[in-house]
Amino acid sequence: MSILVKKNRPVLTVHTGDEHVGSTVALMPPNVETDDGGSYQASVVQQWYWQCWLEFWKDTERLKRQYNAEVVYIHGGDEGEGDHHGTRQIWFVSDADQERAIEAVFAVAAKVVDSWVWVRSTEAHDGPSSAGTEQRAERMARQGANVVRNGALYSHWIYTGIHGGVRFQVKHQPQTRGHLLYTRDLAAGRQALLTWEGYAEDQIDPPDICVWHHVHYRARGWFRNTFCYVCPPWQLPTSWSMGKLQSSPHIEWPGGMRFLCRDGDWQPFELRFRPESGVAWARK
């Protein structure tokens, strides 16, 4: 006689970050009304980012239906660009313009997401103590969204949680990085080691998955049973990085990761989008 074993409903965690809405070279809606009575139209590359963003969430909705999964969106920070370091690469007239654009961007995700986790990021982009992220998370919760609280707060500096029996840690800025292409995955492995050691020191089981952002490249690494994933950005190289970091016209492929978790097992579903190269001899 066969025995049917009822499995728990799977959880699909979704990970993106570094959208930098407000930058002239990053994700934004097609059109935003500005505070001075005008409007800002997305550039060609911003329209491409927007189409990729729509496709990312369309595919996430497909996974949700396919696996009958609960969707937990763990956002990794720097959703806004902010007016920082005297940059000229921002399009908004006032903070209200940027906030309208950010709301429009995450309204796309809201059609798919069951619960939200907001991770704080850098003060340069989100204000002192990353207050911008906290305010957005609180506003979303007061509008009825299921936001995972952090005590009395609505956002987290370091988020830890268990989803589908899988242990997660998500933080914006990693402790180590590798900006050369051949060192990125090595750095992700080092970060997995550093994370694992921190938990071992406290005699706590390490996370199964740790997710990081901030460094504007995608990377993957392991240490023992801890997997480290570094999310790609939704922004072109800025004038600062083009002047200091770039050795070629390489553009990071925007996208993100989805982990399907059930009964302690997990399966990754990464989705990234290949940008068209501006190199004279590149394939079209």
Concatenate the DSSP letters of all residues of 8-28 into one string.
Answer: PPPEEEEE-----BTBTTB--
**CA neighbor of 237 nearest in space, from 220, 253, 257:** 253
Q: What are the pLDDT tens digits along the chain (284 aa)?
A: 445 455 799 999 999 999 999 999 999 999 998 888 888 899 999 999 999 999 999 999 999 999 999 999 999 999 998 777 677 788 687 888 989 999 999 999 999 999 999 999 988 777 788 889 999 999 999 999 999 999 999 999 999 999 999 999 999 999 999 988 889 999 999 999 999 999 999 999 999 999 999 999 999 999 999 999 999 999 997 655 555 556 677 889 999 999 999 999 999 999 999 988 878 888 66
Cα four-point dihedral sign 272, 176, 117, 98: negative
Measure the CA–CA gap between 20 and 78, rounded to whole angstroms.
6
List, in order of start, the domains of the chain with CATH numbers: 11-272 (3.60.21.10)
Which pLDDT value is given to residue 50?
Answer: 98
Q: Which residues contact 38 (CB under 8 A, 6 or more apart)?
A: 93
